[in-house]
Structure 1
């Protein structure tokens, strides 16, 4: 109990300024993000194209210079339904010049079903982006849903979480604050 309190306290009050921009993964894990796994190799994410409902073309290169929380989901995915409102709150509260939540519906997800899903779950501030042939998901090794990939400003994967999480939680917000610290 005391250990958890100390880890959470450290997470809440942030890391030493000398370590700004570095994430205290152990504190994040101890504070509740137990499924978040850091990637020490930090490979570059692919610039595979994905689309929007209007047919516009996008890639992760569009977000270079920002910290990105990339979430793969689908309208039929029950854990995604639970997770999406917290992603929406995180984007509402922290999204901007330095940080962006990017949600990509992978596989067959007709825009009308996405609109209905967003309406039913109360999502208002997340982009509608599509990976209908699952090429981006395959290129990133996504085997199930939901999967969230944290990407640094240089376009490298720094961590991955398989399954759902409360992305509006204080531990998740602290990870984003640490990643966006200059």
Structure 2
């Protein structure tokens, strides 16, 4: 318990966004995001389109200027079901002009199953976005689900997390605060 309190304190004070030029990845990993891996020389984010249920086309470039938490998920994925409420909470608290959670249902996910999934998990503030042929997921090296990719304001991947995480946790929020502090 004391160790956790010390780690959270170090994360909040030692990585204060007013003084940090970049994210303190080690503090985030130590404080609860152990699977978060910073991207070294990650390739540019692809300009592949994905859609919404009405057939509208979207690109990650649409979010340029914002920090993006890109989450690949599916209705059949049990860890995705556990993780989605924390993504909803993170968007509700920090989403806006500087930050956006972008969940993309990859593979075969019928619209009615997505609606049911969102209803059952209490999601109402996140967009429904689709990658039915997994083109974007493949181009971004997604091999399992869930996968979350943090993208900076310039559209560059800065970190990736394989598996689920508590994105509503203080360490996760602090990473987003540090990324949006510029």
1:77 is aligned to 77
Query: How far did 1:2 drift?
Result: 5.6
2-structure distance, mates of 1:66, 1:14? 24
Partner of 2:141: 141
Q: Normalised by the size of structure 2, how large is the TM-score?
A: 0.95
Query: 1:19 maps to what in 2?
Result: 20
What pairs with 1:87-98 in structure 2 (closer than 5 Å)? Answer: 87-98=87-98
| Stretches (4+) displaced over 4 A | 1-4
Q: How many aligned residue pairs are there?
A: 181
Q: What is the aligned-residue RMSD (CA, Å)?
A: 1.3
- Which residues in structure 2 correspond to 1:131-170 (within 5 Å)? 131-170=131-170
User: What do the CA deviations read for 1:94-125 (whole angstroms, capped 9, x no partner)?
Assistant: 00000000000000001111000000110011
Do the aligned residues in 2 keep the contact of 1:14 with 1:174 (CA within 8 Å)?
A: no
Between 141-150 and 36-45, report the one with greater CA deviation. Answer: 36-45
SS at match of 1:19: coil
Match runs of 1:53-64 below 5 Å? 53-64=53-64
Asked if 2 retains the 8 angstrom alpha-carbon contact of 1:77 and 1:146, the reply is yes
Q: Deviations over 1:154-176 (max 9, x none)?
A: 00000000000000000000000
Residues 97-116 of structure 1 mapped to structure 2, 5 A cutoff: 97-116=97-116
Equivalent position of 1:130 in the other structure: 130
Tell me if 1:180 matches 2:146.
Answer: no
- The secondary structure found in structure 1 opposite 2:41 is coil
Shift of 1:43: 2.6
Normalising by the residue count of structure 1, what TM-score does the alignment of the two structures yield? 0.95
Query: Aligned pair in 2 of structure 1 residues 145, 161: CA closer, same or farther (>3 Å)?
Result: same
Distance 2:57 2:170 in 1: 34
Q: Distance in 2 between matches of 1:106 and 1:58?
A: 14
Structure 1 stretches lacking a partner, 5+ long = none
Alpha-carbon distance in 2 for matches of 1:132, 1:90: 25
Q: What is the DSSP-based 3-state SS (H/G/I as helix, E as strand, rest coil) of the residue aligned with 1:37?
A: strand
Gaps of 5+ in 2: none
